[in-house]
């Protein structure tokens, strides 16, 4: 786990931390150029001068090869690998590799930084690199070499419909939702348009996919008449978007249980899913529980022993909790059912998009005994922070129920001779979740660290959580 405990952080400190983690709104609007190449992917600030956009030439070339600069008054001599070039401040005429080159606007030197106009890049860079580049100027995206990630988009019109997006390389977009729309933002991946700018479907639920790109990022927007969920598989190369629960087809049979973890032939989890729904019990009273195994992928969480990572304990624990909750009539989504990276925003976004009745995040720790049950400690912020404020305190309305459920879990665990205590923590993504939300951190039991990976021990804790949560089912709202 990694968060600020109540006891350690005053409200003022919490605000400072929040400000440090989230750049101010102005910097989010800052103009950026994204560069994608086989050797590096990076983003540079774009500088406005006299109504034109400029970029630092040294900063642009440095990640791509060996660069040295020699400054002599207004004269700038730059060597990139074996190519010598010369630029003069205030002049459009330059020399690259022994040939004359005319810039569309004058070269600028500011604070000993050499700036070239953004509009020159598609002709300037090939002189240095010896190969054409794909500069998508209006979107400020520069693709060097054969790096473009292509996509294919297929609609499976069965009920509920699914949109299957296949990519030629793994992708990890930031996913957010708003009513009628699921938004995928690709900042790190050179995703290019899937044919046209938008594709419409003759379907009642999923109606359109739109592609757009701007300020160094590409986006896919999926429009629908029902809440959508995104599922990752095929090592991040496939994203399946489906209706969270089909409200567009009233009276339809509940969907069959979906297969969860996909295994490749070597038996290691090759595919992860942001969501995997399974269902049992009486459909009319089914409440959706989102269980979130914390950490995953390259983010291992705490090292519980020399060989045991928190991310593996949280996943095993989550699978047991899924079973226990299903036994008590919940539908359960595991936010990951494999070893993959998910951002905190993706976790909160998936839970909110699924309109779950409860969100339970699972952690593990080598310190202490029993379990700690956390509810959100909301940051004290000025309402003038607008959307940031809303996102940071999304939990506010559900917090009283969260606290009641957390107290029930603590008492249920104590009944089972499991030491437990509750507290609040400024722990993301709890504060970003709209529904009752809590985090349970499993610590060693009577047998010490050996308990953490023990299915028996985890099972005992999972059963206590499920027993405590079940009586609140009716207060958690039934799925549409
Ligand atoms: Zn953790």
Per-residue pLDDT 10s for the chain (480 aa) are: 544 333 333 333 333 333 333 333 334 568 999 999 988 899 999 999 989 999 999 999 999 999 999 988 889 999 999 999 999 999 999 999 999 999 999 999 988 889 999 999 999 999 999 888 999 999 999 999 888 888 878 888 777 888 888 888 888 898 888 888 899 999 889 998 876 678 888 888 899 999 999 999 999 999 998 888 888 887 788 899 987 654 333 333 333 333 333 333 333 333 333 333 333 334 445 789 999 999 998 999 999 988 999 999 999 999 999 999 999 989 888 898 888 888 898 899 888 888 889 999 999 999 999 999 999 988 775 555 555 557 788 899 999 999 999 999 999 999 998 999 999 888 889 999 999 999 999 999 999 999 999 999 999 999 999 999 999 887 786 443
- Domain 145-247 is in which class? mainly beta
Q: How far is the CA of 341 from the centre of ligand 1 (A)?
A: 13
Amino acid 236: pLDDT? 84
Rounded Cα distance between 414 and 408, Å, is 10
Q: How far is the CA of 363 from the centre of ligand 1 (A)?
A: 4
| Helix, coil or strand: residue 460 | helix
Q: How far is the CA of 317 from the centre of ligand 1 (A)?
A: 13
Cα–Cα distance list, 43 to 9, 65, 100, 145 (Å):
34, 16, 29, 17
Q: How far is the CA of 444 from the centre of ligand 1 (A)?
A: 14
Q: How far is the CA of 178 from the centre of ligand 1 (A)?
A: 28
Residue 222 near residue 181, CB atoms below 8 Å: yes
- Which single residue is written with the structure tokens 């300037």? 124
Q: How far is the CA of 433 from the centre of ligand 1 (A)?
A: 17
* Segment holding 392, helix H or strand E: helix 387-392
Q: How far is the CA of 362 from the centre of ligand 1 (A)?
A: 7
CATH topology of domain 1-30+264-480: Aminopeptidase (3.40.630)
- Where do the CATH 3.30.457.10 domains begin and end in the chain? 47-139
- Where do the CATH 2.60.40.3470 domains begin and end in the chain? 145-247
**CB-side exposure of 252: number of CA atoms within 13 Å?**
14
Q: How far is the CA of 453 from the centre of ligand 1 (A)?
A: 15
List the shell of residues around ion ligand 1, using CB closer than 5 Å: 1, 294, 301, 363
Q: How far is the CA of 3 from the centre of ligand 1 (A)?
A: 8
DSSP symbol at 367: S
pTM above 0.85, yes or no: no
| Helix, coil or strand: residue 475 | helix
- Where do the CATH 3.40.630.40 domains begin and end in the chain? 1-30+264-480
Residue 209 near residue 222, CB atoms below 8 Å: yes
Architecture of domain 47-139: 2-Layer Sandwich (3.30)
Burial class (CB in 10 A: 0-12, 13-18, 19+), 233: buried
């Amino acid at each position: 786990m990694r968060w600020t405990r109540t006891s350690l952080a005053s409200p003022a400190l919490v605000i400072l931390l929040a400000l440090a983690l989230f750049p101010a709104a102005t910097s989010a609007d800052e103009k950026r150029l994204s560069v994608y190449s086989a050797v590096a992917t990076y983003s540079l600030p774009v500088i406005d001068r006299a109504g034109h956009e400029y970029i630092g030439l040294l900063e642009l070339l440095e990640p791509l090869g060996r660069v040295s600069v020699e400054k002599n008054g207004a004269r700038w001599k730059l060597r990139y690998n074996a190519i010598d070039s010369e630029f003069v401040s205030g002049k459009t005429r330059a020399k690259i590799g022994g040939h004359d080159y005319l810039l569309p606007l004058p070269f600028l030197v500011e604070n000993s930084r050499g700036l070239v106009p953004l509009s020159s890049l598609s002709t300037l860079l090939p002189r240095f690199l010896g190969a054409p580049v794909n500069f998508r100027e209006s979107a400020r995206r520069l693709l060097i070499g054969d790096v473009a990630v292509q996509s294919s988009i297929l609609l499976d019109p069965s009920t509920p419909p699914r949109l299957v997006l296949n990519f030629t390389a793994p992708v990890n977009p930031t996913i957010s939702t708003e009513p009628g729309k699921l938004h995928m933002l690709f900042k790190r991946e050179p995703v290019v348009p899937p044919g046209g700018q938008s594709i419409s479907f003759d379907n009642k639920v999923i109606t359109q996919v739109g592609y757009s790109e701007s300020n160094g990022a590409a986006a896919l927007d999926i429009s629908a008449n029902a809440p959508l969920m995104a599922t990752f598989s095929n090592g991040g190369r496939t994203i399946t978007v489906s209706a969270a629960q089909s409200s567009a087809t009233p009276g339809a049979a509940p969907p069959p249980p979906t297969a969860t973890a996909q295994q490749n032939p070597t038996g290691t989890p090759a595919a992860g899913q942001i969501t995997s729904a399974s269902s049992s019990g009486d459909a009319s009273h089914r409440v959706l529980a989102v269980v979130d195994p914390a950490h995953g992928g390259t983010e291992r969480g705490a090292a519980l022993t020399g060989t045991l990572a928190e991310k593996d304990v949280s996943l095993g624990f989550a699978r047991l909790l899924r079973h226990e909750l299903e036994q008590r009539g919940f539908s359960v989504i595991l936010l990951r059912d494999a070893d993959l990276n998910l951002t905190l925003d993706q976790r909160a976004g998936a839970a909110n998009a699924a309109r779950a009745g409860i969100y339970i995040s699972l952690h593990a720790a080598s310190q202490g005994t029993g379990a700690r049950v956390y509810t959100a400690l909301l940051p004290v912020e000025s309402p003038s922070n607008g959307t940031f404020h809303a996102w940071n305190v999304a939990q506010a309305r559900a917090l009283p129920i969260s606290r009641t459920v957390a107290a029930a879990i603590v008492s249920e665990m104590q009944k089972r001779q499991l030491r437990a205590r509750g507290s609040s923590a400024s722990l993301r993504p709890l504060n970003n979740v709209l529904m009752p939300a809590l985090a349970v951190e499993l610590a060693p039991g009577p047998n010490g660290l050996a308990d953490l990976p023990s299915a028996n021990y985890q099972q005992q804790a999972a059963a206590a959580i499920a027993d405590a949560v079940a009586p609140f089912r009716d207060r958690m709202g039934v799925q549409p």
